[in-house]
């Protein structure tokens, strides 16, 4: 298996623009997680899905953030409008069950200017 | 207070020494703990997990859990320069199924 795939790997955008991050989980994994990592706050869980259904979005910072999982092999995280404080590395991870054994994608480094 | 706390380091140890990485947690609902290694510019990868009090060994790595003291540690024996990375401690709460990460300890192993 190719592992968790994320795109794009790098994204530079201007404040106010819409940003869409994409993730393809490992086939057969029922859980998908979106994390954000910054130097100041570390790795934070934004939202997670079980069988394509959002289970907990309490980590989503505000209404500018939204996530979808239309099928078992694809998820998006959208930021609209983007702000400089959204600059971070965004990781997608998947796991076969509700456990801490999660497999991370390579991440998307987002820079908002 | 963060739910999972780690000293940010850096922890510097000479090659061949034992590196000891520590973590404390506040949520008594956390029942299992995970150590992830993250190389600079890369994504976290799981190296160890522990569910029960006591020690768990896997090669050069030993994870230790003390639920009464709410303390988790990772020992790396015969440290190598290739072990230089940030080590993230994480607790899984059975109440929420969420993995809560500490901010990580940066380990430097010098030749």
Q: With contact defined as beta carbons under 8 Å apart, do A108 and A21 qualify?
A: yes
Q: With contact defined as beta carbons under 8 Å apart, do B26 and B3 qualify?
A: yes
Rounded-to-integer distance, Cα B102 and Cα A34, Å: 16
CB contact under 8 A, B43 and A42: no
Is a pLDDT exceeding 70 seen at residue A32?
Answer: yes
Q: Which chain A residues are closer than 8 Å to B42 by Cβ?
A: 106
Q: Nearest CB to A98: which of B49, B97, B100?
A: B97
pLDDT in tens, A36-77: 999 888 999 999 999 999 999 999 988 999 999 999 999 999
Rounded-to-integer distance, Cα B26 and Cα B3, Å: 5
Rounded-to-integer distance, Cα B69 and Cα B61, Å: 21
Question: Which residue is listed with tokens 């989503």?
Answer: A60
CB contact under 8 A, A100 and B46: yes
What are the distances in angstroms from CA B57 to CA A96, B82, B106? 24, 19, 21
Q: Does A98 touch chain B (CB under 8 A)?
A: yes
CB contact under 8 A, B98 and A106: no
Could you list the pLDDT tens digit for every one of the 111 residues in chain B? 578 999 888 999 999 999 999 999 998 888 899 999 999 999 999 999 999 999 999 999 999 999 999 999 999 999 999 999 999 999 998 777 889 999 999 999 999
Q: Nearest CB to B98: which of A45, A101, A103?
A: A45
């Amino acid at each position: 298996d190719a592992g968790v795939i994320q795109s794009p790997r790098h994204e530079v955008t201007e404040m106010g623009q819409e940003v869409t991050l994409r993730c393809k989980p490992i086939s057969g994994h029922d859980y998908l997680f979106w994390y954000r990592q910054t130097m100041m706050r570390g790795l934070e869980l934004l939202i997670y899905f079980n069988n394509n259904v959002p289970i907990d979005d309490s980590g989503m910072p505000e209404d500018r953030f939204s996530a979808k999982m239309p099928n078992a092999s694809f998820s998006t995280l959208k930021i609209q409008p983007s702000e400089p404080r959204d600059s971070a590395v965004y990781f997608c991870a998947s796991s076969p069950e509700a456990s801490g054994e999660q497999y991370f994608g390579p991440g998307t480094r987002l820079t908002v200017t | 207070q963060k739910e999972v706390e780690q000293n940010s380091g850096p922890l510097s140890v000479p090659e061949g020494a034992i590196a000891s990485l520590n973590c404390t947690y506040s949520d008594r609902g956390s029942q299992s703990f995970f150590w992830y290694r993250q190389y600079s510019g890369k994504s976290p990868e799981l190296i160890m997990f522990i569910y029960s009090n006591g020690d768990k060994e896997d090669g050069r790595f030993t994870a230790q859990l003390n639920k009464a003291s709410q303390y988790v540690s990772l020992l790396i024996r015969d440290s190598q320069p290739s072990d230089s990375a940030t080590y993230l401690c994480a607790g899984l709460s059975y109440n929420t199924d969420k993995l809560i990460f500490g901010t990580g300890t940066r380990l430097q192993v010098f030749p």
